[in-house]
Amino acid sequence: MDGVLGVTCSALRDGVTEAVIEIDDEFKGKITEKLFYAFARLNKPILHMAENQVSLEEVFLELTSQADISTAEETLPGDDAKGRM
């Protein structure tokens, strides 16, 4: 379907599957009805549909926490760092 960048599915419980659908910014707000009818044709009810928006702060925190982990891994003493400070 145009506008869908990716889909991740997870089985949650008896017959319930969570589908996370990544949508191109250009198609946001235009694709929900198409998704609804696509699932309806497959006789798969949508129990919940929501748009997740990530704030700039959340992106910053995720990037800096990943950088902190990378930096920590690089500075951990290993066989080649014995005796150095």
Q: What is the mean pLDDT of residues 25-40?
A: 86
Note the Cα 19 to chain centre separation in Å: 11
On whether residue 16 sits in a domain, the answer given is yes
Q: Which residue has the higher pLDDT, 54 or 73?
A: 54
Which domain does 68 fall in, by range? Answer: 4-76
On whether residue 36 sits in a domain, the answer given is yes
On whether residue 81 sits in a domain, the answer given is no
pLDDT tops 70 at residue 72: no
On whether residue 84 sits in a domain, the answer given is no
On whether residue 30 sits in a domain, the answer given is yes
Q: What is the pLDDT of residue 40?
A: 93
Confidence band, pLDDT 50/70/90 cuts, at residue 58: confident
Q: What is the mean pLDDT of residues 55-60?
A: 83
Q: What is the pLDDT of residue 71?
A: 60
pLDDT tops 60 at residue 80: no
Distance CA 30, CA 1 (A): 12
Helix (H) or strand (E) holding 41: helix 32-41
Phi, psi of 43, rounded to the nearest 5 degrees: 60, 35
